[in-house]
Structure 1
Amino acid sequence: MGGRIDCYVDICSFYSYIIFLDILQNRSLLKSHSVTVEFHPILLGAINAGSGNKPPWALPAKAIYGLYEGRRVLGRFPLVPIQFPADLMSVSLTVLPLRALHFIKRTYPDPEVFTTTLHYFFHSFWAPPNVNMTRPENVAKALSEVPAVFNGISVGSAASDRRLFSKQEVEAIMNGAGFQEMKDLLKETTQRALDQGAFGAPWLWATNDAGVSEPFFGSDRFHFVYKFLGLPYQDVALLPPTDENKAKL
């Protein structure tokens, strides 16, 4: 029992946000089972190009089905404000915020700084009014707003009004995002996912306590992941009718 989950995500990926929220609410349990989780920012557009996959909006049937599936998935997190950007395709090239995340991950020793920033970037992209994170000024503004403690609902409901980064730190992060090292790091991380067989996001690479690794795709494969890692879990099960249901019949 135990192991590791490497989770490759892009903030423009709806299901990356969903899996992030899922792992966030279960990370204490995962830790109790000696499972380490690490998030890796990747560029979804490069994953699609490198694997030959196409985004959902490029296939009409998939886009139509996505409306149903998206509504169902949102029911898992009813308190989290999520709406799709009006033109998701035009704001999906999230290179700059991804490089900024890599800079934060590389620079700040406390992993919570990276996780909180990733959380707020997801929130900024997917919560109304859907911030366009392809624009440098918006990325800088989002960085200046990241709360020291963030629960994913809104900044005002955060446990602290204190901001995570000072003005000088925001400037350093924005400058750092332009370093060649960060450009290379985003490319290398994206390529690592491609080498593992990734064709979309979120992409999971799970390693069990025997050192064996397997890939998992999507935000709804945790029952397979838990089984592979040897963790106790409750699978989906059909229940017998209740007295109330019998009365309706």
Structure 2
Amino acid sequence: MGQKKIEAYIDCVSPYSFYAFVYLQRNKQALQSLGVEVEFIPVFLGGINVGTGNKPPWTLPAKAAYAPYDTRRAQKYFGVKFDVPEFFPILSLLPQRCLTFVKKEYPEKFEALYEAFLQTLWLESKDISKPEQLRIAALKVFNEEQVDVIMKAAGNPEVKKMLEEATQHAMKDLGAFGCPWFWVHDGNGNEEPFFGSDRFHFMWEYLGLPHRDLELQTPKPTGKL
């Protein structure tokens, strides 16, 4: 039997990527105990949208009108609370390139930096597409000298190419049309895509994991006639 694995293709500009990251981190130990590896992979959502012709929800009137309801429900379910920043959406190339570099050069701190970026953007309403705001987020994980190296590396052609290749792979090879996009290996040689932060119960079924999500509970008898 092979390795059960979840490849999570996410972009910090996507609030649903934030929800997925929070959920998977919260369940990290449980997944490890069940033999499931999780790998977060930075991609550029803007490139995926352009490449597939997908349109962000806020650009479509009907979806934009529905978004506040979905946002409120998702935040309650995943246990986070924030207001969508006035500057949203951001051009996420700088943070995603920094994450790409850190995953390669400082893999032990990669997830911590992803968390710092997501929290700084969504919970603290700081525009991490701006170098000065991104620096604030990165300093939660790295020292000043390391942050200088990371931010400089984000402009290197090699790092830009790595992010572009990951984005193209997710889109062209794995069928991604948005984020979060998951490519899941069931450990038996089979692989399937899953989209969005509300499909984990389907994912657990596919991986054969014990779970009780979405199970309705009938009222217990009160003992009264």
Partner of 2:144 in structure 1?
A: 167
Percent of counterpart pairs with the same letter? 43
> 2:126 maps to what in 1?
131
1:109 Cα deviation from its structure 2 partner: 4.1
Among 180, 194, 202, which residue is 2:157 paired with?
Answer: 180
Q: Check if 1:120 corresponds to 2:120.
A: no
Native 8 Å contact 2:42 2:99 kept in 1: yes
Q: Is 1:96 matched up with 2:94?
A: yes
Structure 1 moving runs of 4+ over 4 Å: none
User: The residue matched to 1:83 in structure 2 has which SS?
Assistant: coil
CA distance, structure 2, for counterparts of residue 55 and residue 67 of structure 1: 14
Name the SS of the counterpart of 2:77 in structure 1.
coil
Asked whether the equivalents of residues 87 and 127 of structure 2 are also in contact (C-alpha less than 8 Å), the reply is no
Equivalents in 2 of 1:102, 1:26: separation in Å?
23
Deviations 1:177-207 (A, max 9, x none): 1111110011011111102111110000000
TM-score by length of 2: 0.93
In structure 2, how many angstroms separate the alpha carbons of the residues matched to 1:87 and 1:142?
17
Q: Shift in Å at residue 131 of structure 1?
A: 0.8
Shift of 1:238: 2.6
Q: CA deviation at 1:243?
A: 5.8
- In the other structure, the counterpart of 2:199 is 221
In structure 1, the partner of 2:170 is 193
Q: CA deviation at 1:171?
A: 0.6
1:120-173 CA-to-partner distances (Å, cap 9, x unmatched) read 100011013x111121222122212x1xxxxxxxxxxxxxxxxx3121111111
Task: Check conservation: 2:75, 2:81, Cα contact below 8 A.
Answer: no
**Structure 2 Cα separation of the partners of residues 11 and 68 of structure 1:** 21
TM-score normalised by L of structure 1:
0.84
Unaligned runs of 5+ in 1: 147-163
Partner of 2:84: 84
* Residue 26, structure 1, aligned to residue 4, structure 2: no
**What does the per-residue CA deviation read over 1:23-56, in whole Å, with 9 as the maximum and x for residues that have no partner?**
0010101001111000011111111111111001
- Distance, in Å, in 1 between the alignment partners of 2:177 and 2:127 is 24
Task: Look up the equivalent residue of 2:203 and give its one-letter code.
Answer: V
Query: Which runs of 5 or more residues in structure 2 are unaligned?
Result: none
Q: For 2:81 and 2:206, how far apart are their aligned partners in 1?
A: 32
- 1:155 is aligned to none
1:212 to 165, 190, 210: 190
| RMSD over equivalenced CA pairs, Å | 1.8
Q: CA deviation at 1:237?
A: 2.4
Encode CA deviations 1:65-122: one digit per residue, 9 max, x unaligned: 11101100111244x3422111313x2x110011001111100142xx1001000100
Q: Secondary structure at the match of 2:19?
A: helix
Matched position secondary structure for 1:238: coil
Indicate the SS of the match to 1:76: helix
